Chain A
Amino acid sequence: MLQEIVISGFGGQGVLSMGKILAYSGMMEEKEVSWFPAYGPEQRGGTANVTVIISDDPISSPVVNQFDVAIVLNQPSLDKFESRVKPGGALIYDGYGIHKKVERKDINVYRVNAMDESLKMDNTRVFNMIILGGLLKISPMVELQNVMKGLKESLPERHHKLLPMNEAAILRGMELVEQEQQAV
């Protein structure tokens, strides 16, 4: 098993922390993991992105050009990463931030209306967990119980009371995810 994933969006959308939770979850399953952020000034207002790799074998390069899954949470991220999804790979987006259509036909496209849902849940902070739920539904690379363990590990103890809320958001994301395009 080797999953090369990029998560990209505006700074503040929880891109880096979603990646961190994914990496922790992989570690809970005794897999090899790497987490490499674009740590530049883009974190403060532009696009932030992180590459997460989960693998059964030792990871060679933490920096990759082609991804199995791209999660794009704003238009600049789609523009940047659409061309870098492997043929037959998956692109997941949030309906709120993307206004142009995906042009490639050789990739699977999924939509998770996470922003709308987080507003309905009256809690925009769980936006990234709804997206994560969508990812886990279409590509169950780690088990939910290990995600919860990973979440616990990556959150400071004072925030552990928020765990049930995050789990609910992940489960909601699993329900919400819709396939928009089958790769041809």
Chain B
Amino acid sequence: MSEETVLMKGNEAIAHAAIRYGVDGYFGYPITPQSEIIETLMEAAPWKTTGMVVLQAESEVAAINMVYGGAACGKYAMTSSSSPGISLKQEGISYMAGAELPALIVNVQRGGPGLGTIQPSQADYFQTVKGGGHGDYKLITLAPSSVQEMADFVGLAFELAFKYRNPAMILTDGVIGQMMEKVKLPAWRPRRTEQEIREQCPWATLGKTADRKQNIITSLELDSAVMEKNNERFQAKYRVAEATEVRYEEVKCDDADYLLVAFGSAARICQKTIDLARNEGIKVGLVRPITLWPFPTEVLHAYGGKVKGMLTVELNAGQMVEDVRLAVNGQIEVAHYGRLGGIVPTPEGVLASLKEKVVH
């Protein structure tokens, strides 16, 4: 066993990965089921080692605006919360998309609407990928399905956020956040120096130098003609991301007659369903979207021409299923199975639904 392999919760893995990646600042406000992120950071006290700032803000709204400020200076800035707190952050996320600021937001979802419950849910899918804030923007969205991916996606999220100058979200839930698994933490990287940030982020507001005009970070543009141009620029980079950043995993799809489509914790549950179904002679595979935006539309469209039916499994009333249906575009039937309000589906429940709705 490598020395680096440890047993920890998904939330703890995010905190440790952030310190190791060289994140400059975390700003958050506690809420179940993700409070271990800020607790772990506070206990690790990285301000004494890497110099990373960890700050408990007075509210979620304050935290997201602190992230805006850090990101405007080209820093690796992040926040985390759970569903109700993420709703509060939507204004800030829209502003960051409009001001083209890269940052990481982690949503460890719980059941809603409203304050709902503290149990796991995936009911913030629409909010995340369809624009929880106002305006025509997209949020780069990664959906980890293991504690290992919780750790790995911190770095990936920052990489993509800075590549596209756009906020990125890790969309996970109470199952992955609270469970413990073995994880290999990423290698230590030094925080970037001020000079490196100046080179990598010429747009950052780090103080004007004689050789350039002032940098202005804002989402405000009162001239509609210019604002349309800005929007066209955003859309152009979204198209590039859609063409190049789609990530997904295929499990036992080669000989599958039927396909499960699920992300995050639901995908883990579906993997067990695959075994149960195959024991009964039903050939089932799984496509797990890893990027929820950009969505693996093409691969699902292709499977629409190969398999007899699909079932999306979500901890919600049917959200991603709409994107799967758009991808499949009527080639075959796409059904949905979900449990609501914090109830986690069982592998047996998924199998029963598959037999009822899809396997004919």
Contacts and interface: CB of A to CB of B under 8 A. Distances in A.
B227 interface: no
Contact of A36 (B118, B179, B270): B179
Contacts of A153: 7
Contact of B179 (A32, A35, A60): A35
A23 B265 contact: no
Interface in A27-81: 27, 30, 32-37, 39-41, 59-66
Interface of A: 20, 23-24, 27, 30, 32-37, 39-41, 59-66, 153
Contact of B346 (A32, A37, A41, A64): A64
B277 to A, nearest CB: 12
Given A27-B7, A34-B181, A63-B265, A39 B272 contact: no
Contacts of B284: none
22 contacts: A27-B5, A27-B7, A27-B182, A33-B180, A33-B181, A33-B182, A35-B7, A35-B180, A35-B181, A36-B175, A37-B178, A39-B33, A39-B118, A40-B117, A60-B271, A60-B274, A60-B275, A60-B347, A62-B265, A62-B268, A64-B346, A66-B348
Given A20-B180, A62-B268, 10 more contacts: A35-B7, A41-B118, A60-B271, A61-B268, A61-B271, A61-B272, A63-B268, A63-B346, A64-B347, A153-B7
B347 A61 contact: yes
Given A24-B7, A62-B179, A64-B272, A40 B118 contact: yes
B1 interface: yes
A182 to B, nearest CB: 27
Contacts of B349: 65
Contacts of B175: 36, 62-63
Contacts of A62: 175, 179, 181, 265, 268
Contacts, number: 72
Nearest to B33: A39
Interface string B234-273: 0000000000000000000000000000000100111111
Contacts of B344: 63
B147 to A, nearest CB: 9
Contacts of A39: 32-33, 118, 174, 178
B315 to A, nearest CB: 11
Contacts of A23: 7, 180
Q: Which of A23, A32, A36 has the most CB of B within 10 A?
A: A36
Contacts of A64: 272, 346-347
A61 B269 contact: yes
Interface string B316-360: 000000000000000000000000000010111100000000000
A147 to B, nearest CB: 14
B119 interface: yes
Contacts of A36: 175, 178-180
A27 B5 CA distance: 9
Nearest to A36: B179
Interface in B179-196: 179-182
A32 B180 CA distance: 11
Contacts of B119: 40
A64 B1 CA distance: 27
A30 B7 CA distance: 12
Contacts of B181: 33-35, 59, 62
Contacts of B174: 39
Contacts of B5: 27
